[in-house]
Amino acid sequence: MMAAPSMGRGRVGIIGAGSWGTTLANLLAEKGRAVDLWVFEEDLFQAMGRKRENEVFLPGVPLSENIHLTHSLAEAFSGKSILVCAVPSHAVREVFSQGRPFLLEGLLIICATKGLEGETHLTVSRVIREVIGQNWKGEIACLSGPSFAREVSRKIPTAVAAAGSTLAAAQKTQELFSGPFFRVYTNPDLLGVELGGATKNVMAIAAGASDGLGFGHSSRAALVTRGLAEMTRLGVKMGADARTFSGLAGLGDLVLTCTGDLSRNRMVGLELGKGRRLAEILGEMKMVAEGVRTTRALRALARDLRVEMPITEKVYEILYESKDPREAVAELMSRDPRSEREGL
């Protein structure tokens, strides 16, 4: 690897030009940072270059003049003191394996992807750390919380959390992204912040299915609350701080994703609740609904750790075993009586 850089105000690499990666690139560019935005798809790269707009994932939002588009992973990785990972969770290992030779030794990598790796069940930061190697001298952070790309791009006031492998990494992330309409709080619990961001997408599918079945606000509130209990149980079992899950990256993101009309995962659940098939729903989507893949990994992780996650289990059965959502709800409601605090 190359020599350690000065953190300074050098170019920032944003890896992934979906709606969130494009939004974060604009956010930083409008703060005066020079940004290299890596676009995976050749046709999208060409179109964004011509129109200076991401018409596929973020239509109607012009790209800042401070954003340089690149289709070269080597160019996006090379010479950067800060890299932001915004590719789907299933692509993280491959992308960072390819980019590893171009990494500077002391850079800060910020994970803006929410999910778990399918085979290993690792969080995104742990996948990256495994790819780069434990002897790598750099820092890893994550940015997570209740934030829709479309709303952030419209400069709607938003608050999120930044956690890091060190407090300094979290503080650098906070300083990098904080602005007049985008407030960033630090959190010392990197694992908890990432688990919250992954788990809430699964709960959003459940909440969407409830809405699709025509159930009311009471049903959705119950799912959000018990989803939070599942999230907290798993996190504490893995060594995360329970307080994290009552914060922005836990409850905050959970409420947003389970109730917001811009939530892709809620939309998947909504359509499932109406009786549509998963393959048909996903075939019509341009963007990735992380919760679909994460459900499989989260269920396996919960079973490995012997953590009871009944909502996750039912979402898995709906997605991968074609269980009728109404039947899944009936089974959840008929479980043995227990204390609300059991397992917490």
In 135-290 the beta strands, taken as DSSP E runs, fall at: 139-144, 158-164, 182-187
In the residue annotation, 200 being an active-site residue is answered as yes
Using alpha carbons only, give the angle 285, 209, 335 rounded to the nearest 5 degrees: 145
CB 145 within 8 A of CB 160: yes
Residue positions counted in the chain: 344
Crossing angle of helices 310-320 and 190-212, in 10° steps, is 60
Kindly state the DSSP code that residue 123 receives in the 8-state scheme. B
DSSP 8-state secondary structure symbol assigned to residue 337: P
Catalytic one among 80, 114, 172, 200?
200
Query: In terms of DSSP bridges, do strands 82-85 and 139-144 run parallel, antiparallel, or are they unpaired?
Result: unpaired
Contacts by residues 180-186 (CB-CB < 8 Å, ≥ 24 positions apart): 180/155, 181/152, 181/155, 181/156, 181/157, 182/27, 182/152, 182/158, 183/157, 183/158, 183/159, 184/143, 184/159, 184/160, 185/159, 185/160, 185/161, 185/247, 185/248, 186/161, 186/162
Dump the DSSP string for 60-96.
EEEPPTTEEEES-HHHHHTT-SEEEE-S-GGGHHHHH
Cα 18 to chain centroid, rounded: 12
Amino acid at 1: M
Between CA 262 and CA 58 the distance in angstroms is 12
Q: Could you give the residue numbers annotated as active site? A: 200
